[in-house]
Amino acid sequence: MKDLIERQAAIDKINERQRKLIYCFGFENDMVKIMNVAKSIIIAIPSAQPENIRCYECKHGTHSGCGNVYICNVSPELVMKHTGDFYCGYAKRKTDA
């Protein structure tokens, strides 16, 4: 199972430690420089947040022709009607291969 952390919370923790190190030593030492590298790595890591694909963007969704209602054709035995703003775990963007 993936751990999801808030990127800014991790950076804030590193900043807190850096401030304590600078306060204790009175100058920027190698550990503080290493922490700067760690922050840049955290910033560069792609988000693990799943993308929400709405019914109107999904290849399984078909517009019903009635207002903002879409029919989900994810499987033959499961045909459901949703508003266009609904999203689910089966969603696949229309442009995806």
Look at residue 1 and tell me if it is in a domain.
no
Mean pLDDT of the chain: 80
Q: Specify the DSSP class assigned to residue 86.
A: -
Residue 56 domain-assigned (yes or no): yes
pTM of the entire structure?
0.47
Q: Predicted confidence band at 80 (pLDDT cuts at 50, 70, 90)?
A: low
Residue with the bigger pLDDT between 88 and 19: it is 19
User: Does 2 fall in a domain?
Assistant: no
| pLDDT, position 94 | 83
Q: What is the pLDDT of residues 20-57, one digit of tens each?
A: 888 888 877 888 889 999 999 998 988 776 778 887 78
Range of the domain at 75: 51-97
Q: How many Å from the N-terminal Cα to the C-terminal Cα in the chain?
A: 26
Structural domains in the chain (count):
2
61 and 88 together in one domain: yes
Statement to judge: residues 57 and 40 lie in one domain: no
* Same domain as 65, residue 40: no
